[in-house]
Amino acid sequence: MVISTKVRRRLPWGVYLVLLPTFALLAAFAYYPALNGMVHSLFEWRPGFESPFVGFENYLTMLGDDLWWASFRNIGIIFVWAVTLMWVLPLLAAELVMSLSSERLRFVFRTLLILPLAFPAVVNVLLWQFMYDPRDGVINSLLRAVGLDGLAGNWIGDPDTALVALMTIGFPWVASLPFLVFLSALQNVPAEIYQAAEVDGAGRLRRFWSIDLPMMFRDVKLLFVLAVISVLQYGMQAHIMTKGGPDNATQVPVLRMLDAAFLDTSWGYAATLGTVLFALTLAVSLVALALGRKAQA
């Protein structure tokens, strides 16, 4: 005779009560602004004044906004840059750190390479803004000091170099999230696998292609999704350095949204652009979740 019993699990109401303030803050400062922007995208929104309902007129205006669509070309270039050079150097740095035989040296170099992450991103951008100064900047001063005056230029004031100058901020990009992810992935590789590869005579390059990269595949997928999301939300550096100029050479969707709101005072249209960016970010996140579940199945 089998007696079935139901085990009642006591709900940790105390834990939920502790989380209530967090959910309240998220609702007030994350969910409500997002929903509010979606609603106002259907209006000719004028804060403090009568805002007539215009339906999807703002979205139709967006379809004919050449500057809006041109800004996606720039973030496309930034994305390619972000997943190539801005991954290669952090990956190389992580491999070099893990190649050190001394655990103490690993700790020292790991700390030195991670320490710059403690500084605010704005400080880093302002530092590079000074370096790019056409008169007294570090870059032009060094070029003139070694007799290469012809190479000195107005790096963020020239449409031909402004976007590259923005993407170069933070070089060599080692103190970054990709470095932390790659280093963590390499640290989690069992030592027995490396020992077996060494017994089989695998060289450093062969070990990288056959062991390190396959073991980091899940982390690379995560970084790819995060790169897409961060690029769609890219704008802080361009706003501080160039305001989208010169000649819209560094225009990105976030800056186009801000210009529509604060320069053109088209708040409803700005809400439309923000809603579209939110939808794109959400779509990328959902696709990433679906692919992750498929890979685990």
Query: What's the CA gap between 293 and 296, in Å, rounded?
Result: 5
Q: Percentage of residues in the chain with pLDDT exceeding 70?
A: 93
Mean pLDDT of 31-44: 90
Which of 53-62, 100-109, 218-227, 283-292 tops mean pLDDT? 53-62
**What's the confidence (pLDDT) of residue 293?**
67
* Alpha helix positions (H), the chain: 13-26, 32-40, 57-63, 66-82, 85-99, 103-114, 121-131, 138-145, 162-167, 177-187, 191-199, 204-207, 213-215, 217-232, 236-241, 253-262, 267-296
CB atoms within 10 A of CB 183: 21
Considering only residues 201 and 230, tell me which one the structure prediction assigns the higher pLDDT.
Answer: 230
In this predicted structure, what is the pLDDT of residue 64? 92
pLDDT tens-digit series, residues 50-101:
889 999 999 999 999 999 999 999 999 998 988 888 888 898 999 888 888 8
Q: Does an H or E element contain 249, and which? A: none
Residue 9: predicted pLDDT: 58
Q: Tell me what the mean pLDDT of segment 202-228 comes to.
A: 82
Mean pLDDT of the chain: 86
Mean pLDDT over 119-143 rounds to 89
Q: Residue 175: its pLDDT value, please?
A: 82
User: Across residues 160-187, what is the average pLDDT?
Assistant: 89
pLDDT computed for residue 102 by the predictor: 85
Residue 267 has pLDDT above 50, yes or no: yes
Flag whether pLDDT at 111 surpasses 70: yes
Which residues in 78-103 are b (16+ Cβ under 10 Å) and which e?
bbebbbeebbebbbebbbebbeeeee
Mean pLDDT of the 105-115 span: 87
Annotate 137-161 with DSSP letters as a single string.
-HHHHHHHHTT-GGG---TTTSTTT
DSSP state of 246: S
Q: Does pLDDT of 121 surpass 70?
A: yes
Domains and CATH numbers, the chain: 57-295 (1.10.3720.10)
- Are 86 and 178 in contact by the 8 Å Cβ rule? The answer is yes
Q: Kindly indicate the confidence band of residue 297, based on its pLDDT and cuts at 50, 70 and 90.
A: low
pTM: 0.82
User: What pLDDT was estimated at residue 1?
Assistant: 45
pLDDT confidence of residue 292:
63
Residue bearing the bigger pLDDT, 296 or 80: 80
Predicted local confidence at residue 11, as pLDDT = 58
Question: CA of 129: how far to CAs of 84, 124, 157, 206, 248, in Å?
Answer: 24, 9, 11, 41, 18
